[in-house]
Amino acid sequence: MIYFSTGQAAKKLGLTVRTLRYYDQIGLLHPSTKSENGKRSYSETDLVTLEKITLLKNLAVPLRDIELILHKVSIDELLAIHQQKLQQKAMEIQQALEHTHTLRNSIKIEGELNWKQLLPLVDNETNAKSSWNDLLSVSIEESEILQHDLPKLKM
């Protein structure tokens, strides 16, 4: 079996030696061997476990939860979770692009908008629809008519 020193394992996985020592200290991952002088050695299996920890950290899972799920989740399940997070981010980016596109079209139709009118859209994108109505100072009925009658401007 091949063993890696703390430095080699850290370099191979893009982690710091301090991180590996911390994982050992908190019991998240103990090295396969530890000599009397404190030298740690990590096996290939340890490196796979470290990769799982890194992936879970990238998914914003707290370290205390990583320990609980580390051995209960398969690589495929981890990748499925990661894929779902990426799709969620992609959706958020797409919505932001659509809001920006709509703003630019509003400027073309209405002229310049002032910064105070734009700030609520940045602060609270979840209420973007009501913010648009406030921005354009139209009633709900007028907004529905505009949404129905105005041509849809595509990017």
Of residues 149 and 4, the one with the higher pLDDT is: 4
pLDDT at 19: 94
Burial of residue 133 (number of CB atoms within 10 Å: 0-12, 13-18, 19+) = middle
pLDDT at 76: 82
- Are 52 and 78 a contacting pair, CB within 8 Å? yes
Q: pLDDT tens across 111-137, in order?
A: 877 676 666 566 544 444 443 334 444
pLDDT at 8: 94
- Are 81 and 57 a contacting pair, CB within 8 Å? no
Please give the share of the chain, as a percent, with pLDDT higher than 70: 74
- Asked whether residue 26 carries a pLDDT value surpassing 60, the answer given is yes
- Are 3 and 47 a contacting pair, CB within 8 Å? no
Structural domains of the chain, ranges and CATH numbers in brackets: 3-73 (1.10.1660.10), 76-149 (no CATH)
- Asked whether residue 43 carries a pLDDT value surpassing 80, the answer given is yes
- Give the end-to-end CA distance of the chain in Å, rounded to a whole number: 56
pTM of the complete model beyond 0.75: no
- Asked whether residue 92 carries a pLDDT value surpassing 50, the answer given is yes
pLDDT at 40: 93
